[in-house]
Amino acid sequence: MNYPKVASQLIKMLGGKDNIKALAHCATRLRLAINDESLINEKGIDDLEGVKGQFKVAGQYQIIFGSGIVNQVYTQMTKLTGIDEMSTKEVASAGAEKQNIIQQAVKGLSDIFVPIIPAIVAGGLLMGIFNLLVAPGLFIDGQSLVEANPGLADLAAMINTFANAPFVYLPILIAFSASKKFGGNPYLGAALGMLMVHPDLLNGWGFGGAAVAGDIPVWNILGFEIQKVGYQGSVLPVLVAAFILAKVENGLRKFIPSVLDNLLTPLLALFITGVLTFTIVGPFTRDLGFLLGDGLSWLYDSAGFIGGAVFGFIYAPFVITGMHHSFIAIEIQLLADIAVTGGTFIFPIAAMSNIAQGGAALAVGFTTKDIKMKGIAMPSGVTALLGITEPALFGVNLKLRYPFIAAICAAAAASAFITLFNVKASALGAAGLPGIISIRQGDVTPYVIGMAISFASAFVLTIILGKRADAKNKKQAKVMQQATA
């Protein structure tokens, strides 16, 4: 491949170097912030050598080249444009300026939760392994592996402790990440998170029972009572508290002399935010979080398979906008209160959607005669089955439209089916074929059937719609040929 030529042609199709506001790359994609997207020649870029797909998301314009190739194209583009080397975060920040307030809020949530996902996934998968060990009759009739092999009991107990740790101390992870996002000191944020799960406080998971019994401990300060309740597993209270901490910290620095900054700023910021958290912010947002989780659970449980179908139908469009990252906060809240909620219903539906996108992409790969499209559709379809849909979604399904339509219809059907059986996940993980390990005991069979429905429906419907699209294109071509004859 002639990389200088490809880079030169790409710059021209992007509207010239003056139209490129920011430029970076990740493992497989060029990431750009464009001043005027109307100047982009998308058809020309699509036909450019090496290009495997393109899409717009979160204010960015991204072009898929693949590993190795993208580095070479990026190097040549920086030479031709004179743009200094930038990070993907800098491009994301430049692109965010073009987003509306809702998109910015969703991106903010994504920036906070994406860095801590590995910890949550690790805990979730460990929880799945624990479930395999203690699930009755999963491998041995009438017995769990632990019951059949008592020597595994302590191993199961150890794994359960490891699995619970990220959820028990979740406020520390969130407070660290959120404080960093909001412009505060992340270590001061971590201290706030530690304060919210301090062992001297009533464990947050015991709040409901203590409230019913009227046995909630309090601090009595000058006749004013403040509840001594922790926020284990909480999300919304920590987010708001971290935001307040960052604002208080930065506000204090405007008034406190620099010589006293390291002494007074952390002291006052943590104390002020701590008082506000336990008196106003915590109680209010905790109740609001419970209402949100209860509301979604009520909708899922009450609307039955119709509610599941609607959620499955709209999940992929949420992925396109990036708003699916906001579901992480709700899922974590559902899992934190698993004794009441039974787990998260969002994860299984996300898996149905991902499987459908993978099935649709594979159907394109098997039927298309376009070698370039086949080379994109096959691997991206397999990746989607494993839980990563962006390559299939943006590189194949949305590009051709009909596979996307087939996929969301298939996701709706499969989601309706698993909703009938109230399938839920007891942990987070990869929402796809590997997600079996995260599914609640007793729900594995309908989950697997749901995946089969999702894949088969998407595959068959894509082939049907593809033939219809081909027939339509041939008819249009024939009409145009007769018109010009």
| Amino acid sitting at position 389 | T
What proportions of the chain, in percent to the nearest 5, are helix, strand and coil?
A: 70, 10, 20
Supply 80's token pair: 């031709």
26 is catalytic: yes
Backbone region of residue 203 per phi and psi (left: phi > 0; alpha: psi in -120 to 50; beta: other values): beta
Task: Give the span between the Cα atoms of 69 and 53, in whole angstroms.
Answer: 13
Task: For tokens 């959820």, name the residue.
Answer: 167
Q: What is the 3-state secondary structure (H, E, C) of 229-281?
A: ECCCCCCHHHHHHHHHHHHHHHHHCCCCCHHHHHHHHHHHHHHHHHHHHHHHH
Question: What does the buried/exposed string (b/e) look like for 203-221 if buried means 16 or more CB atoms within 10 Å of the residue's CB?
Answer: ebbebeeeeeeeeeeeeee
Supply 467's token pair: 């033939």
316, 427 in Cβ contact below 8 A? no
Burial environment of residue 37 by CB neighbours within 10 A (0 to 12, 13 to 18, 19 or more): middle
| Amino acid sitting at position 22 | A
Task: Give the span between the Cα atoms of 27 and 443, in whole angstroms.
Answer: 36
Task: Give the span between the Cα atoms of 370 and 94, in whole angstroms.
Answer: 36
Question: Which residue in 3, 8, 9, 26 is the catalytic one?
Answer: 26
Task: Give the span between the Cα atoms of 205 and 242, in whole angstroms.
Answer: 21
Residues carrying an active site annotation: 26
